[in-house]
Homo-oligomer: A and B are copies of this chain.
């Protein structure tokens, strides 16, 4: 959907000659497409374009970029111009962007902003970034419960709220406590003389400002809301979180989960393409070093059985297949379990039942893989007894890997620890050690027949 080169040059010409006060640029063009185009330009041209846009346009286009990209562009502009543009953004986006900037630039920009805007943002900056308070916007529509439908519609027309916030009208009592909700649709089809209290739904699902954003996302997904209200402990309405922000949260949280499965994390404050290699390496090395120690530990299992291996060096040929299969089965089981818990497909009260099923799955796969490798090993080395040893080891390793691969994240979940964080490295080391121990133990037992 990126713009054609010609179309873009036409836009540039148009921007250069037109009156900055007119706001018709975004009537025919989608801000997302402009954002993509502008960000791909050299810095000098980025500055030029932002000089040609009026503040409202600049704010809308900026709002469509990734947070890191927004911060980069704002750093290119003067703090005064940056403050003017930011003042046109919704409070939640403004707060996110300011939170991304260096401390002194942030304060300079806040200094140029109107004092009420600055005040509002300072309050929002207090909430942790990944809490409901951190992602909410304070622009919402709330009317007293005694208003008539006609008055509410009139009020709406006067406020002309921004698109993302207009779909639910929240209803509050005398003390500004949230008591109900009316969707814009319900308002428009209601009798104009009814009062809000009569048409509102009273079963409002809301979250507190401290709630973790992942939980908020799960609720919005479950109930299919377009927005969810955020309240304080006394049920006073503080803000709302809209579905477009929720989709960003879901993407972010899923990426985090997937990264944790392979023991890495995102590089803070930049995109993958722009991060320095050193920063990327730093996110992956801690887990790699742990795995390195785990790998040495697995090696020490072999060293225990040095005599067996020295006598029958052929045994070493099957180390890779035993290790690989244990690893693969283990990561399949862990990954399926972790994802099932994340999406709610495995509910908390069914976890143990699912664990028992995984053991059966492990047994089935163990039998099939065990027979396959037994035949393959017998044929390759011409030693049926070696085939038997490898086959039995494979059966035990696969069954155990499926069991351990589910059990470890299950235990982590029970103790309230994100299972994705630690399932990977633990499972890797444990399956290696157990797999190799089983293999060499069985081989040593069959020693006389193998010689």
A323:B325 contact, CB within 8 angstroms: no
Q: Which residues of B contact A335 (CB under 8 A)?
A: 258-259, 261-262, 264
Closest to A320 in B: B298
Shortest C-beta distance, A94 to chain B (Å), equals 17
Shortest C-beta distance, A72 to chain B (Å), equals 15
User: Which segment, of A46-54, A200-208, A233-241, faces chain B?
Assistant: A200-208
Contact of A339 among B259, B310, B328, B339 (CB under 8 A): B259
Contact of A364 among B189, B205, B281, B364 (CB under 8 A): B281
Q: How far is the CA of A32 from the CA of B363 in the complex (A)?
A: 37
B273:A354 contact, CB within 8 angstroms: yes
Q: Which residues of B contact A255 (CB under 8 A)?
A: 339, 343
User: Which segment, of A73-81, A109-117, A125-133, A284-292, faces chain B?
Assistant: A284-292
A432:B320 contact, CB within 8 angstroms: yes
Q: Is residue A222 within 8 Å, beta carbon to beta carbon, of the partner chain?
A: yes
Closest to A347 in B: B273
Number of identical monomers bound together in the oligomeric complex: 2
Q: Is residue A365 within 8 Å, beta carbon to beta carbon, of the partner chain?
A: yes
Closest to A327 in B: B327
Q: Is residue A277 within 8 Å, beta carbon to beta carbon, of the partner chain?
A: yes
Interface residues of A in 311-363 (CB under 8 A from B): 313-314, 316-325, 327-329, 331-332, 335-336, 339-340, 343, 345-347, 350, 353-354, 357, 360-361, 363
Q: Is residue A107 within 8 Å, beta carbon to beta carbon, of the partner chain?
A: no
Q: Is residue A23 within 8 Å, beta carbon to beta carbon, of the partner chain?
A: no
A321:B309 contact, CB within 8 angstroms: no
Closest to A313 in B: B310
A353:B273 contact, CB within 8 angstroms: yes
A189:B157 contact, CB within 8 angstroms: yes
Q: Which residues of B contact A331 (CB under 8 A)?
A: 262
Closest to A337 in B: B272
Given contacts A28-B203, A262-B332, A287-B328, contact A319 B317 (CB under 8 A): no
A32:B223 contact, CB within 8 angstroms: yes
B281:A361 contact, CB within 8 angstroms: yes
Interface residues of A in 217-238 (CB under 8 A from B): 219, 221-224, 226
Given contacts A364-B278, A369-B288, contact A345 B273 (CB under 8 A): yes
Q: Which residues of B contact A376 (CB under 8 A)?
A: 292, 296
Q: Is residue A183 within 8 Å, beta carbon to beta carbon, of the partner chain?
A: yes
Interface residues of A in 228-271 (CB under 8 A from B): 243-244, 247, 250-251, 254-255, 258-259, 261-264, 271
Q: Which residues of B contact A30 (CB under 8 A)?
A: 203, 205, 223
Q: Is residue A43 within 8 Å, beta carbon to beta carbon, of the partner chain?
A: no
A302:B328 contact, CB within 8 angstroms: no
Interface residues of A in 167-210 (CB under 8 A from B): 167, 183-186, 188-189, 201-203, 205
Closest to A63 in B: B224
Q: How far is the CA of A183 from the CA of B354 in the complex (A)?
A: 46
Given contacts A273-B350, A303-B317, contact A357 B263 (CB under 8 A): no
Q: Which residues of B contact A280 (CB under 8 A)?
A: 357, 361
Q: Is residue A299 within 8 Å, beta carbon to beta carbon, of the partner chain?
A: yes
Q: Which residues of B contact A261 (CB under 8 A)?
A: 258, 335
Closest to A224 in B: B244
Q: Which of A280, A300, A368 has the most CB of B within 10 A?
A: A280
Q: How far is the CA of A368 from the CA of B364 in the complex (A)?
A: 41
4 A-B pairs with the lowest CB-CB distances in the bound complex, closest first: A295-B321, A298-B320, A277-B360, A224-B244
A264-B335, A288-B328 are known contacts; what are 9 more A-B pairs with Cβ within 8 Å? A247-B247, A272-B340, A273-B353, A292-B325, A298-B321, A299-B316, A299-B319, A306-B314, A324-B432
Between A and B, 19 residue pairs with Cβ closer than 8 Å are A156-B189, A157-B189, A166-B185, A221-B247, A258-B339, A273-B354, A278-B364, A280-B361, A284-B329, A288-B328, A288-B398, A289-B369, A296-B373, A296-B380, A302-B316, A302-B317, A303-B314, A320-B436, A324-B428
